Amino acid sequence: MSSVQRASDMRRHEKAWGWVFVAPITLQILLFCVAPVAIAIVAAFTNWNVIKGTYDFVGIDNFVEFLTDKKFWVASANTLFMLLPIPFYLVLAVLFAIGCHRNTPGSKLFRVLFFLPYISSIVALVVMWKWLFNYEYGLINQTLRAWFGIQGPNWLGDPAWIKFTIVLMIVWKMIGISSIYILAALKNIPGTYYEAARLDGAGPIRSFFSITLPLLTPVLFFLVVIGLIGSLQTFVEVQLFTTDGGRNYSAATITYYVWQKAFVSNEIGLASSVAFFFGLVILAVTLFQFRLSRRWVYEGE
């Protein structure tokens, strides 16, 4: 058998095996992503009934219905509110990462502890927070009472506070994981930059704003994009902390609204139209982010 023959055999095998190896993931994206997106677009224009399994096309009725629903707009405002954690956990994560980077004693242990909330399930975290922030017997309000003699707020029951409590929990949970990415970026900054700045007479504050921060913008951009996509779809916390989205719908987000319409009141068509609309909004926000990034993200020489 000639070696030319063998080589061509091998190439044919390579093509075949290539497809065999990627077959599972291809099947996954076709069945569980491409097909669902197609169904989602169709369903948005129907009055789909899961129980009867019937549907009629209703044009843009669903869109008119939710856009004129007051609850949808309350949920939209709450969804925007859920972006609030992002700047807070990023600032704290940068501080923590700098602390680790300058080898503060205990850094290794602190890093593990900062990871604890992130690796625990949201269910466990919410169970824990419901107890900690319990109005009468929770540790937080009990401690406020014991140390300062003041009555803490009704963190979970008061419509003005529940959103804030959720924001607080997300900040708490996200610091550790964000700082890991930031720390990796810090380690990539050449020490000579700081050396040069010091010789030029720049103090630590000046070096931070002129060297560290600009060089952290790529990783911060990554974290902002991921954070926005995640925060805009905040759902589980709301579902677990409240029944019915909280008093006066005070904590409900758009994803919560979608879930409630689809799986509590069985309005699949309506829920699909909201999801479709909101999906486009998220996509637009993400693309806009990339455009905007040219203005503030350092891209190297």
Partner 1 sequence: MTVTSTQTAQRRTGTVVSFVLMLLGALTMVLPFLWMLSTSLKQSKLVFEFPPKWIPDPPDFANYAEVWDVAPLATGLMNSAIVTITVVLVGTLSSTMAAFAFAKLDFPHKRLLFVALLATMMVPGVVLIIPQFLAFAELGWIDTLLPLIVPAMLGNITMIFFLRQYMFGLSDELMDAAKLDGAGFLRIYWSIFLPLCKPAIAANVIIVFMGTWNDYMGPLIFTNSPENSTVQLVIASLSSYYAEQTDFPIVMAASIIAVLPVVLLFAGAQRYFVDSFAISGIK
Looking only at residues 34 through 53 of this chain, which bind partner 1 when binding is defined by CB under 8 A? 34-40, 43, 48, 50
**Residues 62, 47: Cα–Cα separation, whole Å:** 8
Choose the binding region for partner 1 from 69-77, 91-99, 157-165, 244-252 (rule: CB under 8 A). Answer: 91-99
CB of 197 to partner 1, least distance (A): 14
Instruction: For 32-59, give one letter per residue: b (16+ CB within 10 A) or e.
Output: eeeeeeeeeeebbbbbbeeeeeebeebe
Residues 6+ apart with CB under 8 A from 160: 250
Is residue 166 a contact point for partner 1 (CB under 8 A)?
Answer: no
Cα-to-chain-centroid distance, residue 220: 14
E strands present in the chain:
none
CB of 296 to partner 1, least distance (A): 18
Judged by beta carbon, residue 250 or residue 253, the one nearer partner 1 is 253
Residue from 162, 185, 238, 251 in contact with partner 1 (CB under 8 A): 185
Q: Is the dihedral of CA 197, 200, 203, 208 positive or negative?
A: negative
Residue from 45, 155, 161, 235 in contact with partner 1 (CB under 8 A): 235
Cα-to-chain-centroid distance, residue 39: 25
Percentages of the chain per state (helix, strand, coil), in multiples of 5: 75, 0, 25
Q: Between vectors from CA 103 to CA 100 and to CA 105, what angle results, nearest 5°?
A: 100
Is residue 57 a contact point for partner 1 (CB under 8 A)?
Answer: no
- Please work out the total of residues on this chain that contact partner 1, with binding judged by CB under 8 A: 106
Is residue 89 a contact point for partner 1 (CB under 8 A)?
Answer: no
Residue from 63, 81, 181, 221 in contact with partner 1 (CB under 8 A): 181
Judged by beta carbon, residue 83 or residue 236, the one nearer partner 1 is 236
Choose the binding region for partner 1 from 66-74, 119-127, 189-197, 207-215 (rule: CB under 8 A). Answer: 119-127
**Residues 124, 109: Cα–Cα separation, whole Å:** 22
Choose the binding region for partner 1 from 59-67, 101-109, 157-165, 207-215 (rule: CB under 8 A). Answer: 101-109
Judged by beta carbon, residue 164 or residue 222, the one nearer partner 1 is 222
Residue from 62, 162, 176, 220 in contact with partner 1 (CB under 8 A): 176
CB of 114 to partner 1, least distance (A): 5
Judged by beta carbon, residue 122 or residue 197, the one nearer partner 1 is 122
Residues 260-299 that bind partner 1 (CB under 8 A): 262-263, 268, 271-272, 275-276, 278-279, 282-283, 286
Choose the binding region for partner 1 from 70-78, 80-88, 129-137, 205-213 (rule: CB under 8 A). Answer: 129-137
For helices 85-101 and 213-232, what crossing angle results, to 10°?
140
Report which residue type is found at 17: W
Choose the binding region for partner 1 from 67-75, 82-90, 104-112, 244-252 (rule: CB under 8 A). Answer: 104-112
Report which residue type is found at 198: R
Tell me the C-alpha to C-alpha distance, in Å, between residue 90 and each of 9, 180, 288: 54, 11, 20
